[in-house]
Amino acid sequence: MLNLHVEIESNSGFCFGVRNAIKKAEEVLNRGEELYSLGEIVHNEQEMDRLINKGMKIITQEDFKTMKGKTVLFRAHGEPPASYAIAEENNIKVIDASCPIILKLQKKISKSKSNNESIYIFGLPNHPEIIGLNGMIGNTAVVFEKYEDLEISKIPGKITLYSQTTKSLKQFYDIIDKLKHEGIKVNVVDSICRQVSNREQELREFCRRFESIVFVAGKNSSNGKQLYEICMQENSRTHFISAVSEINNEWFDSKEKVGICGATSTPLWLIEDVKNFLQSL
């Protein structure tokens, strides 16, 4: 046996928005009722399999447009007004699990639009949160993934800058500094979720304490990719996994200290499974 000393980072597990969405889904499923989710509730394959096994069905936007009289969950990422209009027209019962932070953000961006502001969003163009946010204003915002994607010569002298809630706080303010250096006035709407951004420093300190790190997240998790990079910066022996089956015994030496952490989309039960497996080696 390797006799590993294993510890889970205290802030790992779902954020509030995801926990709330899953709770609402389970309340319906546990009553034996039919439930559809408009897209995946969370970017984690293991958790999605668990919910699908309980009876939840995942649908696309195209599926949603043709449904009638069903019960559909709107996940934490939030939905644009068009989705609510379709639900009303097609007699669809909506279980709204939109994160309160996202809902406030959608109200803010709608106000910015009504004030005729030039709106830019730092985020992933195809991320469901961004689709919902930009949908609030008729998809009129300029969405960019990194500073280098911007055409500086085409940016107005004054803009209002939003961010996807799970983006890096440091990257966001680095972009603001660069834009201001170009002479652009930036009205900053700091929309980054602190439950996510505050983890960065805590995660750095955690990773320094261990000889190896096992980072657990879904392969499609934007937040997971970002936090994994932070772990790698602090501990080069960081291993990204999505399932217990991906763990390689050869990663570890006998009696070494191993830290386990995950994305805001990673279920705590999966992290616990990883811990139990490592302790059995």
Helix/strand/coil for 36: strand
Which of 88, 129, 229, 234 is catalytic? The answer is 129
Other C-beta atoms closer than 10 Å to the C-beta of 229 total 13
Question: Residue 3: left if φ>0, alpha if ψ -120 to 50, beta else—which one?
Answer: left
Crossing angle for the helix pair 100-114 and 16-29, to the nearest 10 degrees:
110
Closest to 264 measured CA to CA, from 23, 40, 37, 42: 42
DSSP secondary structure code for residue 160 in this structure? E
- In Å, how far are 74, 119, 185 from 21, measured between CA atoms? 8, 29, 38
Tokens of 272: 């616990």
CA atoms lying within 13 Å on the CB side of residue 150:
23
- 187/118 Cα distance (integer angstroms): 10
Using alpha carbons, select from 240, 219, 225 the residue that is nearest to residue 43: 219
Phi, psi of 133 (to 5 degrees): -65, -50
Query: Is 129 a catalytic site residue?
Result: yes
Active site residues: 129
